[in-house]
Structure 1
């Protein structure tokens, strides 16, 4: 590695990221490199590895490339969007930042340590989520864990909010359901050809929902911005909540609004800078052919 690569360590409600600025250097990372960097024991450690790249078209301020800790590239990450927006807003001395992603253009409004991101419109059609078979009503699909006559989890709402999500509605604290056991099975269930993020959601009141998330390619996480979006729109769609709701995650709370005028999802929450460093050369080495 000829030149050291600087990184920032950031987080949104404990959902943590290693962020690299490749807008000038055009650095690309292999899945193996991402896995080594993301490893919490031998690398830097993070839920997602984020690469800031040049804007792909006029109007955007940059492109945000997102990798899960397992090296897979994904299209959306709400918590990382807030962190990146805050960085670029300070750099460009403006409050509105336009972030291009594989899921589309995100508009972020930065106000100090709070950032509101327009996450766009949710997709509810079974082919858009996607599912491997047709379900006309995705407010609740046939999928369950446990005995047929007494399932532990069943009938999730499904949606795509930049990536696929399944939301299981539970009556008790989500911590009681053993998501660490069921998460891998549900993430990789054949009904989800691109795998899925799995959430357990307990409706506390029409404007407050408690959520625990198993994130695709990551595992249990303190917070997941797109999962919060998924829960909010699915709760409103199934009349469990209104269109404005507080989503309580293990790492903290996000404010969600599924805007009635255009069906866009607005997510508001904090961001934090945890530290800076340079990627060690051994993490960037590729195995010999």
Structure 2
């Protein structure tokens, strides 16, 4: 079977996009996703995104398989790529620059801007320990600047869910973090029953953050959209940054804003098509 695909990336966080609008089930299995995402024996990607029929009065549904075959609730860079992919699929028949997309994290609304950027309404962050989930605090409490022992060191962490779990810690120098060593220890720490994404944040200015990320199910990536959103929320909760800031990732910058008016988080960044092809399974 030959699978047609389009490759996109958002700040180097790269995805294989598959037109799955004819079925409510992904056309490939998680095991096949691992094969396609392999950078030596497959296409190479951080994950596979399926454009599927909408549910609950949405335009489309987004499903994702990570490079390890697991399925996350949502992906910020991925949904920008999906919006650009849908606009390409629709072509001249496209009626709107905005889509309502059903995800496992709820309904997310990306909008294609005239300058080529994609602005995404990422929704209201979930802040209670039971919502993240984590056992660091009682389920009805926020997890702000709590100590967590990882790799023989105590880290102050703040936890946020953007529909998927994030553990954020602030450091003096993100470049000095041995991410490949401690990232897996955060991800699989027993206080996170569904594992966690982990963001290491250096506050350059209240309106400018540097970030490195270990993504649950994907490892080190060049960017993480939900992670950038969670990082800004954590920075505000911990009194370290403004409600609007640039977040610099290894792959480039995202603009993140946490509105005081509606409490929703807005992310703006690029989505770039790289190539198209067919993969024979």
1:237-285: per-residue Cα shift (whole Å, max 9, x none)?
A: 111111000000000000000011111000000010000011212xxxx
List, as ranges, runs of 4+ consecutive aligned residues in structure 1 with deviation greater than 4 Å. none
Q: Could you tell me which residue of structure 2 aligns to residue 100 of structure 1?
A: 102
Cα shift at 1:93: 4.1
Which of 4, 10, 18 in structure 2 is aligned with 1:12?
10
Counterparts of 1:189 and 1:201 in 2: how far apart (Å)? Answer: 19
Q: 1:1-289 residue pairs with structure 2 within 5 A?
A: 1=1, 4-26=2-24, 27-58=26-57, 60-90=58-88, 91=90, 92-111=94-113, 112-135=115-138, 136-147=141-152, 151=153, 154-172=155-173, 174-281=174-281
Cα shift at 1:29: 2.5
Cα shift at 1:25: 4.6
5+ long unaligned stretches in structure 2: none
Q: Secondary structure at the match of 2:45?
A: coil
Counterparts of 2:137 and 2:28 in 1: how far apart (Å)? Answer: 36
Counterparts of 2:120 and 2:184 in 1: how far apart (Å)? Answer: 29
Maintained 8 Å contact 1:8/1:277: yes
Does the C-alpha gap of structure 1 residues 61 and 137 become closer, same or farther in structure 2, counting only changes over 3 Å? closer
Normalised to the residue count of structure 2, the TM-score between the two structures is 0.93
Cα shift at 1:88: 2.1
Equivalences, count: 273
Does the C-alpha gap of structure 1 residues 175 and 51 become closer, same or farther in structure 2, counting only changes over 3 Å? same
Cα shift at 1:85: 1.0
1:72-91: per-residue Cα shift (whole Å, max 9, x none)?
A: 01111000111111222352
1:131-167: per-residue Cα shift (whole Å, max 9, x none)?
A: 13534341122203355xxx3x601111111110001
Q: Secondary structure at the match of 2:203?
A: strand
Normalised to the residue count of structure 1, the TM-score between the two structures is 0.91
Q: Secondary structure at the match of 2:198?
A: strand
Counterparts of 1:133 and 1:181 in 2: how far apart (Å)? Answer: 22
Maintained 8 Å contact 1:85/1:99: no
- What is the root-mean-square deviation of aligned Cα atoms in Å? 1.4
Maintained 8 Å contact 1:7/1:19: yes
Cα shift at 1:48: 1.2
Q: Secondary structure at the match of 1:97?
A: coil
Q: Could you tell me which residue of structure 2 aligns to residue 284 of structure 1?
A: none
5+ long unaligned stretches in structure 1: 282-289
